[in-house]
């Protein structure tokens, strides 16, 4: 890291503001090695994450619509304050459909945080109109940062501004780009209990050594470990997904039949994506007035070969 002086590469130096097709601001984060990430004020959604070779690591559907207020199919969506359809709000809550605001003078989140990353802070607060539907005063601060190694970190802080205690669920709905779903294996979820969302959230226990995919899957793994790995053999790439404050992991692939029923998703696109979401779903988070919650997701994409990925995962503390 030595020769990238903090003064040359601070969080502002690596930032560019662009507009999307609807004129809504997007923030492009870049690092000196050529990796990048793009975050939209529409939904606070990460719409792109590229490595230093310019390869896109997140999936976006070719049929995705970029029309406010509908969220875009792909990237990383913020699901808050509801996950799925269990609640009074629209599926996955309202955060992914709102226009967020960029904080021009973001505070330091903690003293240990290095400036040698480019980052942006987006804010979401309820309007008077929104308080009629969900009467809780909150501030949601999302920090998206990109390091010199191309690691992408999303840190969300929810604060109860005043009033009464409230509860919420949260998920980083993360669409990973994969070569072919039949070549993919997820490690770290073996032996865990999960809710099967395809059979009325029935509680089951994972029996397989590693997850592989042959049909539709929609599961919430409970009390999952801090690190989960998604291995893509054909592309020789391993995604390492690390999380804090997010006890659950959702794994979703719509497969053929559901893909055909989704208007903003191609019939065959289920082959090239997999959603693995760090989440807090089983136990709602409760905040008393003035309290704050933090949930963090760190994504790394490493080159893997049969032996090498063992070493990489080891160095990440996976084994
Ligand atoms: O179509 P949406 O609202 O973006 O949701 C997509 C999927 O998101 C997943 O996280 C859920 O587990 C699935 O049940 C859901 O179908």
CATH number for the domain including 221? Answer: 2.70.98.10
* Cβ(173) – ligand 1 distance below 6 Å: yes
Give the percent of the chain with pLDDT over 70.
89
For the chain, what percentages of helix, strand and coil (3-state, to nearest 5) are there? 10, 45, 45
pLDDT of residue 67: 86
H or E stretch covering 261: helix 255-261
The pLDDT assigned to 111 comes to 56
Structural domain contains residue 5: no
3 within some domain: no
Predicted local distance difference test score (pLDDT) of residue 66: 85
Cis status, amide bond into 81, omega within 30 of 0:
yes
Q: Percent of the chain having pLDDT more than 90?
A: 80
Q: What distance in angstroms lies between residue 197's CA and the mean position of ligand 1's atoms? A: 10
In this prediction, residues 310-316 reach a mean pLDDT of 57
pLDDT above 60 for 306: no
Residue 8 lies in a domain: no
Any binding-site annotation on 45? no
Q: Is the ipTM of this complex over 0.95?
A: yes
Report in angstroms the alpha-carbon separations of 222 from 23, 82, 85, 171, 197: 40, 17, 18, 13, 13
Q: Which of 68-72, 100-104, 137-141, 217-221 has the weakest average pLDDT? A: 68-72
Q: How many domains does the chain have?
A: 1
Q: Which range among 2-16, 103-117, 261-275 shows the weakest confidence by mean pLDDT?
A: 2-16
Q: Report yes or no on 40 lying in a domain.
A: yes
Residue 239 has pLDDT above 60, yes or no: yes
Please report the pLDDT score of residue 142 as a whole number. 98
Q: In the predicted model, is pLDDT for residue 80 greater than 90?
A: yes
The residue whose CA has the least distance to atom 12 of ligand 1 is 218
* pLDDT of amino acid 5: 42
Q: Which atom of ligand 1 is nearest the CA belonging to 275?
A: 10
How far does the centroid of ligand 1 lie from the alpha carbon of residue 152, in Å? 22
Stretch 227-250: mean pLDDT: 97
Task: Indicate if ligand 1 lies below 6 Å from the C-beta of 258.
Answer: no
219 among the known binding-site residues?
no
Query: Is residue 95's pLDDT more than 70?
Result: yes
pLDDT at 3: 41
Q: Work out the average pLDDT over 101-111.
A: 81
Q: How far apart are the C-alpha atoms of 176 and 301, rounded to whole Å? A: 10
250 lines ligand 1 (CB under 6 A): yes
Task: Give residue-wise pLDDT tens across range 275-296.
Answer: 999 999 999 999 999 999 999 9
CA distance 150 to 51: 6
Could you tell which of 91, 96, 195, 201 is best to mutate to test the pocket of ligand 1, judged by most ligand atoms within 8 Å of the CB? Answer: 91
**Structural domain contains residue 10:** no
**Which of ligand 1's atoms lies nearest the C-alpha of 92?**
3
- Residue 116 is assigned to a structural domain of this protein: yes
pLDDT (tens digit, 9 = 90+) per residue, 159-204?
999 889 999 999 999 999 999 999 999 999 999 999 999 999 999 9
| 186 CB within 6 A, ligand 1 | no
In a domain, 38, yes or no: yes
**Domain range for residue 254?**
15-315
Q: In this structure, is residue 1 part of a structural domain?
A: no
What is the pLDDT averaged over residues 142-161? 96
Ligand 1 atom at minimal distance to the Cα of residue 171: 10
Is 201 assigned to a binding site? no
**Closest listed residue to residue 281, CA positions, set 251, 248, 252:** 248
pLDDT of 122 higher than 80: yes
| C-alpha of residue 218 to centroid of ligand 1, in Å | 8
pLDDT band at 10, cuts 50/70/90? low
- Ligand 1 centroid to Cα of residue 84, in Å, is 6
* Per-residue pLDDT band at 19 (split at 50, 70, 90): very high
Cβ 42 under 6 angstroms from ligand 1 = no
Query: Is the N-terminal amide bond of 122 cis, ω within 30° of 0?
Result: no
Q: Across the chain, what does the average pLDDT equal?
A: 91
């Amino acid at each position: 890291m030595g020769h990238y002086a903090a003064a040359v590469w601070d969080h502002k130096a690596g930032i560019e503001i662009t507009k999307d097709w609807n004129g809504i601001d997007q923030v492009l984060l870049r690092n000196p090695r050529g990796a990048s990430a793009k975050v939209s004020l529409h939904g606070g959604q990460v719409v792109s994450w590229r490595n230093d070779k310019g390869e896109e690591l997140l999936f976006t559907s070719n049929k995705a619509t970029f029309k406010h207020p509908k969220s875009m199919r792909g990237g990383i969506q913020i699901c808050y304050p509801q996950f799925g359809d269990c609640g009074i709000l629209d599926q996955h809550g309202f955060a992914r459909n709102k226009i967020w605001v960029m904080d021009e003078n973001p505070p330091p989140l903690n003293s240990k945080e290095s400036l040698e990353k480019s980052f942006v802070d987006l804010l979401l607060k309820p309007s008077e109109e929104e308080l009629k539907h969900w009467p809780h005063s909150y501030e949601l601060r999302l920090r998206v940062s990109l390091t010199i190694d191309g690691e992408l970190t999303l840190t969300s802080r929810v604060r109860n501004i005043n009033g009464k205690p409230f509860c919420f669920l949260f998920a980083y709905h993360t669409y990973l780009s994969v070569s072919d779903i039949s070549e993919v294996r997820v490690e770290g979820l073996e032996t865990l209990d999960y809710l099967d969302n395809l059979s009325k959230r029935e509680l089951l226990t994972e029996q397989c050594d590693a997850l592989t995919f042959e049909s539709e899957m929609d599961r919430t793994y409970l009390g999952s470990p801090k690190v989960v790995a998604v291995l893509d053999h054909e592309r020789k790439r391993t995604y390492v997904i690390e999380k804090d404050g997010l006890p659950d992991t959702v794994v979703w692939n719509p497969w053929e039949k559901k893909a055909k029923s989704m208007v903003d998703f191609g019939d065959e696109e289920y082959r090239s994506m997999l959603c693995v979401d760090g989440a807090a779903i089983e136990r709602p988070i409760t905040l008393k007035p003035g309290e704050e919650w933090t949930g963090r997701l760190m994504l790394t994409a490493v080159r893997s070969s049969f032996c090498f990925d063992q070493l990489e995962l080891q160095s990440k503390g996976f084994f």
